[in-house]
Structures are given as structure tokens and as C-alpha cells.
Structure 1
Amino acid sequence: MKLHANVEGNGFPLFILHGFLGMGDNWKTLGKEYADAGFQVHLIDQRNHGRSPHSSEFNYTVLAEDVKQYAEDNQISKFSIIGHSMGGKTAMQLACQHPELIEKLVVADIAPKYYEPHHQQILEGLTRLEEAEISSRKEADQLLSEFISEQGIRMFLLKNLNRKEKNAYGLRVNLSALKQNIEEVGKALAEDAHFNGETLFLKGSKSNYITDEDKKIIHQHFPEAKIESIQGAGHWLHAEKKDAFFEASISFLKA
């Protein structure tokens, strides 16, 4: 599968993988900062997201292979990678399947453990949005507000809104495939999966996605892992505390 990506800058390749229901564009501002710091930044849309192709097949094995294929298509033999949430799981899977490709691995606010599905309310709202005949972003926001009270999350989700015709909007994400495969999103890494390269886990201090108990499983899979906390940040730590996230990640990537 040929993934869509926006590329900026020159230097050592740095791939960035967004989270569930996101897209590479979510990382545009930070991507420019990494590019200014000397990296060739690849903001990748994973399958069924953004402008990348849709498929009924959706699990971390194929998501990781998609990224490997993207690297081969672009003649990149080694790169560093940052993955947030679902993108972090893809990045972990890729590093374990193909360690020879990965220079450094940064995982943002996700552990290699199993997570129960917890996006039901969001998926219900997006389903209603997809079924409705929406003619404006304001109308879409009003409909979503019946399901999601937090404006920041609605703004994030509404980036998926795509003008199909002059007064008609649709969603970029392949909602039906994501709903059918929702159990895959929370899957744990296989017990025998390991990556011995340099790894940094960044967690939000206000987030419960990585707990103190998770440190053991992180080090089982990633023996060289460092775990750092971004103070005052929740799960969307790269957006909530952008400068702190950038400083922590760039000092690791440049070391």
C-alpha cells in the first residue's frame, strides 16, 4: 500500500505517525520544528486515515509493513520514528519486526500492553456525522457536540471533514473499517517482540495511558528504553505541551 505523506526539510529521515482518527497534518507545526533542527521529516498518513488508501484489513502487522514499504518506495534504509498512541503501537511493532530500519524510537503516551476499546462515543458521533447531510463545519461541530463535550477533541476530529461537493462534506477516515477492527487498536505487542535499540517513551503526567506498573512491560520489550514525563500534559501531550515535547524528543534524537 502506498501511503500518503508530506515531507519537509533535509537531513536524516524522521518518520512521524499520528494516532487513531488523526493524520500527518496534526503534526505540521512540530514537523516544521524538527525540519528546522536538521531532519527530513515525513508526516505519514496511516492506512484508512488522512489521504492514504482505504482497506478492510487493519492491524499493527499490516500498519508496520505499510511504513516499511513507504521507506523502500522512498529508498530510505534507516530512519528514526516518533509515534503517538496508535502510531506509537505501529512504531513499536515496526521496530520489533524490522529493527535494522530504526535508528531511534520515540513512543508518545502508549505502552505495549492491551487497552480495552474506549472510543465508542467518538465513533458513534462520527457515524452520525457520516450519515447526516452536513453542509458546513459549524453544523458538523454542533452535531458532534451531542456526543463529545470537549471542544479540543471535536476540533481534532473535524480535521477529518472533507468537502466532497460545493455544499456537502464527508469524512476522510475509513470509518467502517476502523469500527470493524476496533479491537485491533488496543492489541498488545506479542510477548516475544523485542527491540534492543535506543528508545524513549514520553508520557503525559495527567494521562493514565502509561502507569508506573507499565514500566516493567516496557522494559521487557524495550530493554534500552528511557521513560520521561511531560509535566501538565494529558494524552495529546505533543499538542498540549508542544515545546516541552519537542525539547525532550529532540535532545534524545540528536544525542
Structure 2
Amino acid sequence: MRLRLANPIATAVWSTTTRRAYATSSSRVSLAYDLHEPAKPSSDAPAAIVFMHGLFGSKKNNRSISKALARDLGRPVYAVDLRNHGDSPHHHRHDYTAMADDVAGFIDEHKLHNTTLIGHSMGAKTAMTLALQSPDLIDNIVSVDNAPIDAALLSSFGKYVQGMKRIEEAGVTKQAEADAILKDYEESLPVRQFLLGNLHRPAGEKTQKFKVPLRILGAALDNLGDFPFKDPGEVRFAKPTLFVRGTQSKYIPDEALPIIGQFFPRFELADIDAGHWVTSEKPEEFRQAVVEFLKPKL
């Protein structure tokens, strides 16, 4: 892992609180979250971190790293479920502008200040979108393996939706049955386990269902590779930004660095020898990069 300024001009105990969410009357939804509080806060009112997962993920995917960051930085970490994921409400609209507005509402609802946004993949583009449209809400962001460009999603995401729909149609009662079906769509056991983490058994039912709304997310796939801002001459985020890149991933190609520098002129780049799932593949290297970026500069 190496951390560099890419554009020079430009064992403690913590507590965790879980909150479910409710739908609001507007298109904004209230987000479910886990709050990881530090045992030794960095100040009387430490600045908050909001951590956002990727597509088909949830707040529980970021539990370990959120606890570690709360411990190391002395800051509360809110790991949220983005709309249509985890325990957050479902909504027919699923795009980055809407997800960013949800997070803006979360910051306002919880009266957070000097906020850091950390987002992986879909969560990264949500963080970038909110930073560009409401820079006064945000102190800095960490974008994990995604860039502010239009880029097609991996074709595997469409296959995942097909496999998950087939699981629901089969009326499975055990995760092993679901895994046997999903093998036709994904060879990797860790990826299958990640996707099957969305399975649950609704109250009063015998079969398992997915928490995520497969129809809504399936319809959104074509647009989730896009980025809502096209012209860095019109909008930019002039505060510190860290881009964490998995060097075995395709989501932040070298060709994207100039446009990153135009949208985020104070960005730094941390390269980690990993694929797209940086936080789970190399959690220690990721923790080190984020702590180095966020720790107070002398």
C-alpha cells in the first residue's frame, strides 16, 4: 500500500448502537444505522464518520473496520444502510442523487458536524455526489475503488440478480439450498456468502427471501455505473479527498486520475494490492491508509 498526494496543487472498548429506519413522506428515506462509539473520544464533540457500503451490501459488512476506525481516531462511526439495502426502507427510485440526499438528511437528522464520508463502490459514488452537491455538509471524503466517471458495472451484477430471483422462486428454506442455486451464477464462495447475507426469513413465513428489492435494483443496474456530474468546470469539492484503489480492479484506471483531479483538486491516492473488495481483502492496509489520511496533521 502506498499513500501519495496525487495532485499537489490541487485495544480499546467501544459501544455499538443499532437503529432501524422509517420511510419519510418525501422521496428521502431515513437510513438505518449502527453507531460505533469510541471509548476515548478525540474531543468533547468529535467529528463524525459516515460509512457507506456497496451494491448488495449493508452496514454489517463494515462492522469490524468501523469499530477499528472509531478506536484509532476517537471518532463516532455511523455505518448506514443505503436505501433498498439492509434495514433501510425500499423506494422505487435508486440513483446517486437520491442516495446522496438520504445521507444529507441523515447528517441533518443526527446533527453531525465536520463529517467525513467513507464509501465503497456504490457508496463511493454516493459520497462523491453529496460532496459535490453539498460541500458545506462535508469536511472530507474517502472514496473506495470508484471514480467520478461513467463506467459500466461488471456484468456479474446482472447475473447475481438473476440468481437471487431464481432462489426466491425456488422457495428455499435453508441457506445451503440457496448456495447450491447461486453456484450456477458465481463460482467464488466468498462472493456467494456476501450475496446470501441478504437472505432472511420474514415473520410468519417458512421460506427465505432477500431483504433487497431485486426488481428495483435490477432495473437500476444500467444507471449505477454513471456519475451524475459531467463537467468539473461547473462544480468541484475543494476539500481533502482520499481515493483508495484496488490495483487489481478496473474501477479507477490511470486514465481517470486527471478527471478526479478536476473534480477533487486536493485528492490523494492510496494503492492497495487488492481487487474491488478492498475493505474485506486487505482490511489492515485499508485501515492504515484511512487513519493516515484522517489523523490530525501536525
Q: TM-score, normalised by structure 1?
A: 0.96
Matched, 1:56 2:92: yes
SS of residue in 2 equivalent to 1:22: coil
Q: Quick check: 48-57 or 7-16, which moved more?
A: 7-16
**Does 2:258 correspond to 1:216?**
yes
Match of 1:238 in 2: 279
Please list every run of at least 4 consecutive aligned residues from structure 1 whose deviation after the TM superposition is greater than 2 angstroms.
none
Q: Any idea what SS the aligned residue of 1:15 has?
A: strand
Gaps of 5+ in 2: 1-28, 39-45
Shift of 1:2: 0.8
Give the structure 2 partner of residue 120 of structure 1.
158
| 1:163 aligned residue | 201
SS of the aligned residue for 1:29 comes to: helix
Residue by residue over 1:133-187, the C-alpha shift from the partner in whole angstroms, topping out at 9 and shown as x without a partner, is: 0100111111111111111110110110112246321101111111112122111
Gaps of 5+ in 1: none
Pairing 1:4–2:45 present: no
Q: Distance in 1 between matches of 2:228 and 2:240?
A: 18
> Sequence identity of aligned pairs in percent?
35
Partner of 1:99: 135
SS in 2 for 1:203: strand
Structure 2 CA distance for aligned equivalents of residues 167 and 116 of structure 1: 38
Could you report, residue by residue, the CA deviation over 1:65-100 in whole angstroms, capped at 9, with x for unpaired residues? 000101111111331010000000000000001111
Whole-angstrom distance in 1 between the partners of 2:137 and 2:278: 26
Shift of 1:116: 1.5
Match of 2:211 among 155, 169, 172: 172
TM-score (normalised: structure 2): 0.83
Which has the bigger relative contact order, CA under 8 A and spacing at least 6?
Answer: 2
Partner secondary structure for residue 19 of structure 1: coil
Conserved? CA contact 1:58–1:184, under 8 Å: no
Is the CA contact (8 Å cut-off) linking 1:136 and 1:167 kept in structure 2? Answer: no
The residue number in structure 1 matching 2:23 is none
Separation of aligned partners in 2, 1:166 and 1:36: 40
The structure having more radius of gyration, on CA atoms, is: 2
Residue 201 of structure 1, CA deviation = 0.2
How far apart in 2 are the matches of 1:166 and 1:172? 14
The offset of 1:188, in angstroms, is 1.9
Per the alignment, residue 90 of structure 1 pairs with 126
Of 173, 178, 182, which aligns to 2:221?
182
Aligned residues: 254
Deviations 1:162-218 (A, max 9, x none): 122463211011111111121221112412341111000000111111111110111
Q: Distance between the aligned counterparts of 2:159 and 2:270, measured in 1?
A: 30
